[in-house]
Amino acid sequence: MNNTVSQKPFLRALKGENLKSPPLWLMRQAGRYLPEYREIRGNVSGFLELCYTPELAVEVTLQPIRRYGFDAAILFSDILVVPDALGQAVRFEEGEGPKLNPVRSVADLDILSLDRLHEHLAPVYETVRRLSVELPDETALIGFAGAPWTVATYMVEGKGSRDFANARGWGLQDPEGFSKLIDLVTEATAAYLCRQVEAGAEVLQIFDSWAGVLSENEFEKWAIEPTAKIVSTVKARYPDIPVIGFPRGAGILYKRYVAETGVDAVSLDSTMPLDWAAENLQDKVALQGNLDPLLLLGGGEPMDREIRRILDRLGKGPFIFNLGHGIIKETPPENVARLVDVVRGG
Ligand code: 1CP
């Protein structure tokens, strides 16, 4: 690793250094709250076209970096490019969430294949390559993927869900069958993340956005085990690449997640008690988080106060400032500017 790279504040925090002013980036920092994003989005026919067009994906990745000077850029893509690349076509219809033809049995898995994974995802790797050249020297580049459980929920439900009854039901009734799906997604995800590193990603984040609906047994089988496999596969090839896990909603199971997956950092959702996290997690991994996106939406004194509380409670160990979940699309861009000022000492 050369000098410039190891001096990036974001990478230093991930290696366990305690910085005076924490590095800062925001989940979903590129997206609909930015007028410059909406303009580009308005010129393409579908959301996935944006993800698969390197020139445009690079541009929307850079937009929030230019505006706010965040310490890290996150590749612009989506967690659902993986099922799309496995052969389960994903559609984003206007004003609605993602749609897929659901897979609900082992027989349904016949449509999925690893054969064309990298060919299909080549435009994403090209985006990473271009970003690694174009980013400012002090800005780190984050690659990412969904965790197998969260990706599998979309594959089984066929869309976003509230209770994940089909995915959980399959896992509870036929764990052997469901693990065939999880294993396939795990293998694809590990290979996908390795390619992102080869293309220039310096950090990886694994989004397990729906981990919080799992019971302890399910969490161990569908969140911890697949994530641990991905981390060990990536680290076998790239031992120095830091991995951030985000088991959103996992509560006190964050502790087992940290102990058993091998991640270097965890992103805390907004419900996590800060003192508990500082005490139980921060001596083992770097922490990232966890301002409530609703406070960023509303701004003003309630936001400032909570930012200062987070800095006070988590700023004593290795820490990266972030939200507890993605930016809400109605968020005024000036509230984000204010957040940056307050975090950086304003
Ligand atoms: O047309 C549009 O602009 C669609 C909105 C959008 C955007 C901007 C979607 C659809 N995905 C994205 C980008 C995206 N998705 C990024 C880009 C980088 C950045 O953070 O700036 C990332 C990291 C994701 C990850 C993602 N996609 C997650 C995990 C994180 C999270 O927010 O929980 C999940 C669950 C998805 C699925 C997804 N993609 C898009 C939508 C609307 C959804 C959620 C559907 C649902 O509610 O279940």
Q: Which atom of ligand 1 is nearest to the CA of 154?
A: 48
Look at residues 292, 330, 327, 320 and name the one whose alpha carbon lies nearest to residue 9.
320
| Helix axes of 175-199 and 117-134: crossing angle, nearest 10 degrees | 40
| Amino acid, single-letter form, for residue 172 | L
What DSSP element (H or E) covers 231?
helix 225-237
Q: Is the CB of 249 under 6 A from ligand 1?
A: no
Residue 4, pLDDT above cutoff 60: no
Cα-to-centroid distance, 98 and ligand 1 (Å):
9
How far is Cα 14 from Cα 6, in angstroms, rounded to an integer?
10
Catalytic residues: 28, 32, 41, 78, 154
pLDDT at 100: 98
φ/ψ of residue 205, rounded to 5: -120, 135
Beta bridge partners of 70: none
Taking phi over 0 as left and psi of -120 to 50 as alpha, with beta for the rest, 121 belongs to alpha
How far is Cα 172 from Cα 297, in angstroms, rounded to an integer?
38
Q: Which domains does the chain have, with CATH numbers?
A: 3-343 (3.20.20.210)
**What pTM value is reported for the model?**
0.96
Q: What number is the average pLDDT over the span 194-220?
A: 98
Cα-to-chain-centroid distance, residue 32: 17
CB atoms within 10 A of CB 29: 25
Confidence of residue 6 (pLDDT cuts 50, 70, 90): low
Q: Is the CB of 269 under 6 A from ligand 1?
A: no
φ/ψ of residue 74, rounded to 5: -110, 130
Q: Which atom of ligand 1 is nearest to the CA of 28?
A: 20
How far is Cα 54 from Cα 126, in angstroms, rounded to an integer?
6
**Ligand 1 atom 2: residue of nearest CA:** 47
Cα-to-centroid distance, 120 and ligand 1 (Å):
19
Residue 2, pLDDT above cutoff 70: no
Q: How far is CA 64 from CA 32, 72, 74, in A?
A: 11, 10, 10
pLDDT at 94: 80
Residue 152, pLDDT above cutoff 80: yes
Over the range 282-313, which residues count as b (16 or more CB within 10 Å of their CB) and which as e?
A: bebbbbbbbbbbebbbebeeebbebbeebbeb
Contact 330, 11 (CB under 8 A): no
Q: Which atom of ligand 1 is nearest to the CA of 37?
A: 3
pLDDT at 5: 47
To test the pocket of ligand 1, the residue of 44, 79, 128, 268 to mutate (highest count of ligand atoms within 8 Å of its CB) is 79
How far is Cα 286 from Cα 80, in angstroms, rounded to an integer?
27
pLDDT at 95: 80
Q: Is the CB of 47 under 6 A from ligand 1?
A: yes
Q: What number is the average pLDDT over the span 179-205?
A: 98
How far is Cα 281 from Cα 335, in angstroms, rounded to an integer?
30
What DSSP element (H or E) covers 245?
strand 243-247
Cα-to-centroid distance, 143 and ligand 1 (Å):
14
Look at residues 162, 150, 144, 188 and name the one whose alpha carbon lies nearest to residue 29.
144
Work out the percent of the chain whose per-residue pLDDT is above 90.
Answer: 96
Q: Which atom of ligand 1 is nearest to the CA of 207?
A: 29
Work out the percent of the chain whose per-residue pLDDT is above 70.
Answer: 98
Mean residue pLDDT across the chain: 96
φ/ψ of residue 125, rounded to 5: -65, -35
* pLDDT tens by residue, 162-171: 999 999 999 9
* pLDDT tens by residue, 300-314: 999 999 999 999 999
Q: Is the CB of 38 under 6 A from ligand 1?
A: no
